[in-house]
Structure 1
Amino acid sequence: MNLNTPSFSTFTHDGLKLAYFDEGDPAGVPVLLIHGFASSAVVNWVHPGWLKTLGDAGYRVIAMDNRGHGASDKPTDPEAYRPWVMAEDSVSLLDHLRIPEAHFFGYSMGARISVFAALGHPDRVRSLVLGGLGIGMTDGVGDWDPIADALLAPALDDVTHDRGRMFRAFADQTKSDRNALAACIKGSRDLVARNDMGRIEAPTLIGVGTKDDIAGSAQELADLMPNAQALDIPGRDHMLAVGDRVFKKAVLDFYAEL
């Protein structure tokens, strides 16, 4: 298994060619990783060490580039990025790989997509790990319109909004398609009703950095769910929590107890 640059394959769903990798033990329990906004399977899961961590623990590790991201096709219609639409991409990947059910592990936007997958296809979701998104899942995470504006600005120097600058710099760093990302940020922000969170019976771990000013409380979200636990990731913000060793240990312990 090449931990630095896993080989990607593609499949087609909803008229889009979507890229993914399938690594680790083919006989292991499958974990489907769903990355966050403006990221990619490599940036979100390979560079921070999740592929190695899960692969070394014996899991089959699968991750896709969400539509609009990485090596996948990049529509520019915001309606193409509704979270329930993107959730169907993830379930279609399981269909493509003939996997009946998997652990779904999503970070930030990927956490929202994972929840919509659990609501739409509870039989396919063995468990949920939701990183970087707490009660913001139901209550919102602030005004994201300035981020779309930042992505479409001529240059980073033209952006004054702090969160807009952060995501614009990230998009530039990952050489992303900024038009597709602007459509994504407009289309992917649908909230989940509190009573819908209460319908999710899959065992769930919610991990949020203690310095994350985007996600909202992990504990408040866990309290809405029948089988969820919250994890504070000490001293980490939204960008740095994803690769934290406390988070990694907690996820492995969570999976071991299932």
Structure 2
Amino acid sequence: MRSRTGLTVRSFTPARAGELPPVLLVHGFASDGVQDWVETGIARALTEAGRSVIVPDLRGHGSSPAPSAAREVDAPGLVTDLVTVLDEAGADTFDVVGYSLGARLAWELPEAAPGRLRRAVLGGLSPAEPFEAVNVQELHQAVADGTEPTDPLTSAITNLVLTHEARAAGLALCVEGLRSTPFTPRSWSGRTPPVIIVGKDDAMARGIERVLDLLGAGELITVAGDHHEILGGAAFRPTVLEVLAR
């Protein structure tokens, strides 16, 4: 279905609904709801556990529309889209599972939707803003005409963005928007501390202990794999189910 935001939103309803609230699943950068949550079997496992599931494609990703400006896809803009999706679903209370960029956006939901978030699972969360050192001018230039960026990080992001062909310009705007509103961990305002899941070999999650220290609570679970492996790994799905059943 289409949200009034224009986002594509997939909803999954269990055969027998339990009493716990719906689960919002938020995918990572340059991915989409199908790849991160449907193909991994996580959405199905949640519905089999009696949970309703809401799976949006973020703006500029999957089947959702491309942004026309970076301000549409900065962190506040993306979070506003998610709250609108929750409102349209009638989710007065909800749980959230976010991965990578999705975890970074989920961090903002307790303040963006006060009193509504019950539990949060944050997978692959980076303790710093991954795009802060990207040269966005070179990124846009590379997408426009193929000019090779001069620094390795911008080159790596460019190569990732370009694999999405027609979506590349929109993803470059996402990088610009997120870079302009970098992730700065602060105290958690949700009713229960988040559970953070990272891969043992995930370079992007190095230093995540600093976030736990800042929280003064929360739980860190380390599983096998790197940043691109743990979503489909053996440990992530059962861990999510266990945490959200609490």
TM-score w.r.t. the length of structure 1 is: 0.81
In 1, Cα distance between the equivalents of 2:187 and 2:126?
A: 11
In 1, Cα distance between the equivalents of 2:140 and 2:9?
A: 25
The amino acid of 2:115's aligned partner reads D
In structure 1, the residue corresponding to 2:195 is in which secondary structure?
A: strand
TM-score w.r.t. the length of structure 2 is: 0.85
Identity %: 28
- Higher strand content, 1 or 2: 1
The amino acid of 2:202's aligned partner reads D
Alpha-carbon offset, residue 109 of structure 1: 1.1
Equivalent residue number for residue 88 of structure 2: 96
Equivalent residue number for residue 208 of structure 1: 198
1:42 to 34, 40, 43: 34
Question: Is the Cα contact below 8 Å between 1:91 and 1:124 reproduced in 2?
Answer: no
Unmatched tracts of structure 2, length 5 or more? none
Q: How does 1:145-164 map to 2 (within 5 A)?
A: 145=134, 149=138, 153=142, 158=148
Judged with a 3 Å threshold, the aligned counterparts in structure 2 of structure 1 residues 147 and 176 are, in CA distance, closer, same or farther, namely farther
Q: How does 1:100-249 map to 2 (within 5 A)?
A: 100-136=92-128, 140-141=129-130, 143-145=132-134, 149=138, 153=142, 158=148, 167-168=157-158, 170-174=160-164, 177-189=167-179, 190-194=181-185, 196-234=186-224, 236-249=225-238
Unmatched tracts of structure 1, length 5 or more? 1-8
Alpha-carbon offset, residue 153 of structure 1: 2.6
Judged with a 3 Å threshold, the aligned counterparts in structure 2 of structure 1 residues 201 and 222 are, in CA distance, closer, same or farther, namely farther
Question: Is the Cα contact below 8 Å between 1:104 and 1:125 reproduced in 2?
Answer: yes
Aligned residues: 241
Judged with a 3 Å threshold, the aligned counterparts in structure 2 of structure 1 residues 144 and 41 are, in CA distance, closer, same or farther, namely farther
Judged with a 3 Å threshold, the aligned counterparts in structure 2 of structure 1 residues 11 and 162 are, in CA distance, closer, same or farther, namely same
1:87 to 72, 76, 79: 79
In 1, Cα distance between the equivalents of 2:110 and 2:135?
A: 30
The amino acid of 2:60's aligned partner reads G
Deviations 1:155-209 (A, max 9, x none): 8895786655655555455555111100101112323444x33444433111111
In 2, Cα distance between the equivalents of 1:153 and 1:218?
A: 32
